Each structure stands twice: as C-alpha cells, then as structure tokens.
C-alpha cells in the first residue's frame, strides 16, 4: 500500500479539536478511550480503518483488540506524524498495523467491502461539509462491508474556549445529512462531554 501515498494541505487558519499527546496530536485523551472502544465494539480479526489518525493512539489501542488475525490501516496527511507512528509500530513489533501518508478525500487503495469499522476522529470539521467530505464518505461506504460501521468523533457545536471556532463545528444532525445519500443509517450517539461519537451502519 505504500505505493499509493498522497498528501494534502490543511486550509489556513483551521484548528483541530485535538489535544497534544506526546509527539503527535490526538483527540484520544479528551475523553475516556474505554468508552469510545466500548461503543466501537471491535472484535478479534476485524479490519479497522483510522482516517486522519494523527499520532495513532486509536490505532495502537485497536491493535490490541483485533489481535494478530486483525488488520489496522491508519493514515494522515501529516508526513512527520506518520513517520513517528511508523517508528512506534516497528519498535513495538505491531505487525497488524499499516500506516501511510494519505489524502483522506481521495480514493483509497482498498478493495470494496473489506473494512469492518472506520473511525474519523475530529477531522471532519477541518474538511467542512462540502463536495470533498461527501466524496470521502462515499469512499468509506465503498470500502465498508455490508453492515460495517462508520464512527465519527467531533467537538460539540456551541461556543468553547478550546478546539475549532464555533462556525466550523458540526452537529450530529449535520453528519446525518452528509451520510444519508451514501447508504448509511445512524445506529448510535454517545455524549462524551466536550465531544460526541456518532455511529452509522452501512445499509445492506
């Protein structure tokens, strides 16, 4: 898969709803990750896709759950963060994690119907609700198995002293509209304080 690397630049002035955790950025520490993974309900042997993985905290956590029979694909647009994550994966001998630098809004080098669970954490507000985000959601629908799940973590809409400006924030209802035409049905909503996790099932 490393032959399919691409990059994309963030829009100027946009801030991720991330905390810095060690050498990279991640929303992982902003809420109890055990609550997130209880909702994700990953199983041993699952194929887990982490889009916009940042420092890779979710991918590293998922690696322990899916085990040697499972697969993790984690990618981000930030080359330096991915290189650090790749070094961590190699140092820890985690053979079930593949990492790459990639543009989240372009087609993925994956077979259709191959992914069990896809996570997009605190990056949708950076792309915005537009043609690029619709293309990304449609591509996720292509690579998910029938009955596979898309999980999206975003900062709650409303004024806040951290994260993105209020005008950039996206509500679960906004995401409902974004995913509706791609063949998804909402299957759950988890309130995590400052953030929320909304899940969708790919229709059969």
Alpha-carbon distance of 127 to 146, in angstroms, equals: 26
Give the H/E segment covering residue 118.
strand 115-121
Residue 110 to residue 47: CA distance in whole angstroms: 11
Confidence of residue 88 (pLDDT cuts 50, 70, 90): very high
Domain ranges in the chain are 2-202
Q: Nearest CA to 148 among 89, 203, 66?
A: 203
More confident residue, 149 or 32: 149
Q: Higher confidence at residue 160 or residue 188?
A: 188
Over range 70-78, report the average pLDDT: 96
pLDDT at residue 19 in the model:
37
pTM score, whole prediction: 0.86
pLDDT band at 158 (very low <50, low <70, confident <90, very high): confident
**What pLDDT sits at residue 144?**
98
pLDDT of residue 10: 33
Average confidence (pLDDT) over 174-185: 95
The predicted-structure confidence for 12-39, as pLDDT tens digits, reads as follows 333 344 433 333 456 787 888 999 999 9
State the pLDDT at residue 26.
65
User: Which pLDDT does position 196 carry in this prediction?
Assistant: 96
**Average pLDDT across the chain, whole number:** 87
- Whether the pLDDT of residue 143 is over 80: the answer is yes
CATH 3.40.50.150 fits 2-202, yes or no: yes
Packed helices 57-66 and 79-91: angle between N→C axes, nearest 10 degrees: 30
């Amino acid at each position: 898969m490393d032959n399919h690397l691409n990059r994309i630049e963030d829009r100027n002035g946009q801030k991720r709803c991330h905390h810095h955790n060690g050498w990279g950025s991640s929303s992982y520490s902003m809420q109890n990750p055990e609550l997130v993974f209880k909702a994700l309900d990953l199983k041993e042997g699952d194929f887990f896709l982490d889009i916009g993985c940042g420092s890779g905290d979710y991918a590293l956590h998922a690696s322990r759950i899916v085990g040697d029979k499972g697969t993790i694909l984690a990618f981000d647009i930030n080359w330096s963060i991915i290189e650090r994550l790749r070094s961590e994966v190699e140092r820890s001998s985690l053979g079930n994690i593949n990492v790459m630098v990639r543009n989240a809004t372009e087609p993925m080098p994956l077979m259709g119907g191959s992914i069990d669970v896809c996570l997009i954490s605190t990056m949708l507000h950076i792309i915005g609700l537009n043609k690029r985000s619709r293309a990304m959601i449609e591509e996720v629908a292509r690579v998910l198995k029938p009955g596979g799940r898309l999980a999206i973590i975003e900062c709650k809409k409303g004024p806040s002293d951290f994260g993105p400006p209020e005008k950039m924030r996206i509500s679960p209802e906004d995401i409902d509209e974004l995913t509706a035409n791609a063949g998804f049905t909402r299957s759950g909503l988890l309130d995590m304080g400052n953030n929320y996790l909304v899940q969708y099932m790919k229709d059969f």
